């Protein structure tokens, strides 16, 4: 991937990572009892769609160092916007300030990209820029993703030196 990064677009309406609500308890009443929590059907479908769209861009090996991630979610227009709705702000961008929440949209992306091996752990994402816009009228929506390795870590000494400059 290198310092240049990779950018791609996932077509389709951006979907949030829902709360894990379905669950059951194994070995109820016994010392080794544990809860099994699963994602809802809609979350599983969203993860499957997103995984399929992102997998062609997955790197051969995960990023080792810190990562900058820029996400832009383009949400479809509502069928009938309210009378007070203004399509664009002063800067010409139409923002989407309704549900789903931007943090839930981001969770799904982070989980899928981690699973696909873009990085070892999503804790490596040290810069996260997220925007939620309205898509063009009539468009279904999409998610724009830009991933950039901030620098390549080849040794613990390099990382320690970089860390010292950040403090």
Q: How far is residue 113's CA from residue 116's CA, in Å, rounded to a whole number?
A: 5
Q: How far is residue 130's CA from residue 153's CA, in Å, rounded to a whole number?
A: 25
Residue 42: CATH number of its domain? 3.30.1330.70
DSSP 33-86: -EEEEE--HHHHHHHHHHHHHHGGG--SS-B-S-EEEEEEEEEPPPSS--TT--
Q: What is the mean pLDDT of residues 12-28?
A: 70
Q: Which domain holds residue 46?
A: 6-166
Q: Give pLDDT, residue 34.
A: 66
Q: Give pLDDT, residue 77.
A: 79
> Residue 131 domain-assigned?
yes
Question: Which tokens hold the place of 70?
Answer: 């820029």
Model-level pTM?
0.76
* pLDDT tens-place string over residues 99-139: 889 999 999 999 999 999 999 999 999 999 999 988 887 88
Q: Give the number of other Cβ atoms within 10 Å of residue 45's Cβ.
A: 12
> Residue 52 domain-assigned?
yes
> Residue 1 domain-assigned?
no
Q: Which of 108, 145, 150 is nearest to 125 (CA)?
A: 150
> Residue 41 domain-assigned?
yes
- CA geometry: angle 10, 11, 17, nearest 5 deg: 65
Length of the chain: 167
> Residue 58 domain-assigned?
yes
What are the angstrom distances between the C-alpha of 97 and each of 101, 148, 156? 9, 27, 42
Evaluated on CA atoms 117, 121, 123, 124, the torsion sign reads: negative
Domain count, the chain: 1
**Average model confidence (pLDDT) across the chain:** 81
Question: Which residue would you say has higher pLDDT here, 162 or 113?
Answer: 113
């Amino acid at each position: 991937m290198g310092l240049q990064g990779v950018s791609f677009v996932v077509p389709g309406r951006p979907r949030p990572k829902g709360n894990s609500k379905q669950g059951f308890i194994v070995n109820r009443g016994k010392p080794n009892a544990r809860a099994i929590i699963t994602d809802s059907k809609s979350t599983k479908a969203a993860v499957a769609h997103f995984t399929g769209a992102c997998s062609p861009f997955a790197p051969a090996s995960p990023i080792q160092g810190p990562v900058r991630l820029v996400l832009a979610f383009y949400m479809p227009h509502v069928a009938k916007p309210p009378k007070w709705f203004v399509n664009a702000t002063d800067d010409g961008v139409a923002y989407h300030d309704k549900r789903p929440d931007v943090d839930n949209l981001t969770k799904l992306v982070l989980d899928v990209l981690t699973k696909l091996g873009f990085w070892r752990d999503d804790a490596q994402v040290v810069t996260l820029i997220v925007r939620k816009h309205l898509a063009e009228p009539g468009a279904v929506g999409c998610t724009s993703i830009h991933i950039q390795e901030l620098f390549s870590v080849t040794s613990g000494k390099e990382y320690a030196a970089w860390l010292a400059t950040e403090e």
